[in-house]
Structure 1
Amino acid sequence: MKQYDVAVLGGGLLGRLTAWLLADQGCKVILFNAGKRNGEDAAAFAAAAMLAPTAEAVEATPLVVQLGYASLPIWRQWVDSFPTPVFMQQNGSLIVWHPQDHALAKQFSQHLQRAHQDSSVWQVWHNQEISEHEPQLAGRFQQGLFLPTEGQLDNRQTLLALADVLDRQQVSCHWGRSSDLAECAALAHWTLDCRGYGGKGNWNSHGQSRLRGVRGEVLRLYAPDIELHRPVRVLHPRYPIYIAPKQDKLFVIGATQIESEDDSNLSVRSGLELMSALYTVHPAFGEARILESMAELRPTLNHESPEIRYDTQNRVVTVNGLFRHGFMISPTVSIATVRVLQTLMQQQSLPDAQACYHIDVLPVNQNGEAD
């Protein structure tokens, strides 16, 4: 006799969200997470939690951008419903650059224009507008691009709030406890695999994994002399560097994007680049205190978009591939995942791509590969 309707493998951001949504709709859910309740071992623990579909449209796939825009109002609704306070800000974001990087700014603007037919999603700010809205950047940048719809969350508050919500929904959460598909199959009618990079072995195709880890490095600083009212991105020759101001003078600085599955400590090169770019934004950052430096691997599929797979024979649904957009797209991805799972549980035909926010939903064949 199965004790649960669904067993969730992985308690990072996506695992917590899907477990919560399933429980909220009446499912009896058990969740296994090898890491801690506070999410310390999840990629989401190191994230800046920026909700930035306009800026990400420069490099992200159209699907990811669509999911990002659809997720913004959902986050606001969810954060307002959480019993535990979560910092959420939607003051837009500001893109700036130094004179020597004017060519990068021109290229960035061209990408924005190609990605967005509606030019109202960004505004050109000159020195006067920058000084008015971000006084501490006055005179430091002659021009910038303001993206008014963008926002951010506190990543760690969100992870803890979701753990609290799971407790309230009576989800049986096993923190610091590994599990596998066999154990989940013995306990529940269906298994939902949300293990991110930890599930890499289940994404093989023709002998090679379609899932890879992309290294991202982040600094967390305490800067009492700096006040920013929104995230600021500095265009950089290697990667855009963002400064995300959180509460209590805490700033998250990131993030490198390196094609490597090495999750060891921050490299000297990356540290120098992040901190030197930060110092050029304002010299007062030179007196900031480094609280943490972190490196995490973002689970990335070969097409750099999320994907949901299902195996009706073994009753397993697997979702992965959020890449660097975890917080930005996780609401819509989790809702689509729950829709797929509920449809399978009811033995109905799967919803079409339109109903699943255009996320690829693929059956798995007898070799464990997507058809």
Structure 2
Amino acid sequence: MARIGIAGAGLLGRLLAWQLAGTHEVTVFDPANGPQARSDGRGPAAFTAAGMLSPLAELDNSGPAIAALGWRSMVLWREITDELSQPDTFRTLGSLLVAHGSDLGAAQRVLARLAQAPDLAGVVQTPQRLDRAALAALEPAIDPRLHAWLLPGEGQILPLQVLPALCAAAPRVRWRWQHTVASVAPGRIVLDDGSEQRFDLAIDVRGTGARPDLPVRGVRGEVVWLQAPGVPLHRPVRLLHPRHRVYIVPRPGDHIVIGASEIESEDRSPVSLRSAVELMAAAQSVMPELAEARIVHLETNLRPARPDNEPRIDTEDGLLRINGLYRHGWLLAPALAQDALAALGLPAAPLRGFPPPVPEGGHSLRPGEARSATVLDQASAHVDLC
């Protein structure tokens, strides 16, 4: 049984702790007060995220390797939420792309990129054009004059329910809340009070907190929460617009989340008037009945991004770093955790999509025996759906 220390209790930190706790001694350090979302919005970006699982739609701005990792994660999320006894937090009803008539040209350019996507293990990934009747049957609250396409197989997950559930399902983990990590090195985690903790393996999944060890920047995102009783929405919707990237996502309790601007800034101040007006006006143009929705709250957070906006796994003796998930945290986290554990030869708790335990003596975390791995150059070898 190895002693493993994890710096960061965001999505990756919780997934890894939950998976490793059955076979290893795991300690997690995080500055948050506890497993719930922080009221000031300064906790993990995973709490602010809408939880869209859109491998196909992301091909508009990312390569096929991201989509391949995303499709793998879709299968893993089904297994994970079942294991957590939270099956209602994950669903795959597809997602919608919509466009106003004046923006049809821009929409067609996006659809052309999606149509050129490589076949990923036979996953159906061709956008399906919806006529007015089909759109009304799927989402009656959407303006029927919009052009619309269904992306089958895509889905969503509920971050506010899943993140605490991962902690609750790992009672053997030592959760060290209100502990800020200053640095992570092979086999050791140093806290901001100067104390040092020794481990067989140190894992750094702190996002922007991993600087200066990693070249990570924060990209500001902004979201608006609405409550709209009587306004039905069943699946995530993306508005194809030449200037705005706007998504509209249903949440329990008649809530709807609208986001998200991407601003190259690490400003954590409240949402600007301009962003809020643009986001809500775009959403109302898609769903006119939102005019009477009530604004519940607004949030900002920072997505951790590397210079190339792609995720990376780095390993060396006694050290694992995963970072740079950018706008793809919920889409990629399970597949990245799977690849990291496999690269290290670590046995995890039984789960069909995760590496099975290895025989006694089949792995070691002693110096000189850890392995290295990067992520996207290997993704094409993992296109299978587990």
Does structure 2 retain, via aligned residues, the 8 Å contact 1:31–1:173? Answer: yes
Aligned mates of 1:281, 1:179 — CA distance in 2: 44
One-letter identity of the residue aligned with 1:218: V
Does structure 2 retain, via aligned residues, the 8 Å contact 1:244–1:252? Answer: yes
The structure whose residues are more often helix, as a share, is: 1
1:335 and 2:332 are equivalent in the alignment: no
1:174 to 165, 173, 176: 176
Provide the TM-score with structure 1 as the length reference. Answer: 0.87
Give SS of 1:261's match. Answer: coil
Match in the other structure for 2:358: none
Pick which of 76-85 and 349-358 moved more.
349-358
* 90 and 55 in structure 1: CA distance in 2 versus 1, 3 angstrom threshold: same
1:221 to 222, 226, 235: 226
Match in the other structure for 2:379: 358
Does structure 1 retain, via aligned residues, the 8 Å contact 2:315–2:371? Answer: no
> 1:140-177 CA distances to partner (integer Å, 9 max, x unpaired)?
32x2111011000111101111111122xx00001222
CA apart distance, 1:359: 9.3
Q: How many residues align?
A: 346
> 1:41-95 CA distances to partner (integer Å, 9 max, x unpaired)?
1101100010000000111132211110111011001101104565212100011
* 86 and 195 in structure 1: CA distance in 2 versus 1, 3 angstrom threshold: farther
Aligned mates of 2:222, 2:50 — CA distance in 1: 11
Match in the other structure for 2:11: 13
Give SS of 1:174's match. Answer: strand
Pick which of 109-118 and 15-24 moved more.
109-118
Aligned mates of 1:352, 1:198 — CA distance in 2: 22
CA apart distance, 1:354: 8.9
Pick which of 345-354 and 268-277 moved more.
345-354
2:199 to 188, 196, 215: 188
Does structure 2 retain, via aligned residues, the 8 Å contact 1:96–1:235? Answer: yes
RMSD: 2.4
One-letter identity of the residue aligned with 2:324: G
Alignment of 1:44-55 (within 5 A): 44-55=46-57
Does structure 1 retain, via aligned residues, the 8 Å contact 2:68–2:380? Answer: no
* 334 and 123 in structure 1: CA distance in 2 versus 1, 3 angstrom threshold: same
* 318 and 351 in structure 1: CA distance in 2 versus 1, 3 angstrom threshold: closer
Does structure 2 retain, via aligned residues, the 8 Å contact 1:4–1:30? Answer: no
Pick which of 259-268 and 79-88 moved more.
79-88
Provide the TM-score with structure 2 as the length reference. Answer: 0.83
Aligned mates of 1:109, 1:148 — CA distance in 2: 14
2:168 to 149, 164, 186: 164
1:297 to 298, 302, 321: 302
Match in the other structure for 1:366: none
Match in the other structure for 2:365: 345
Percent identical pairs in the alignment equals: 34
Aligned mates of 1:200, 1:100 — CA distance in 2: 44
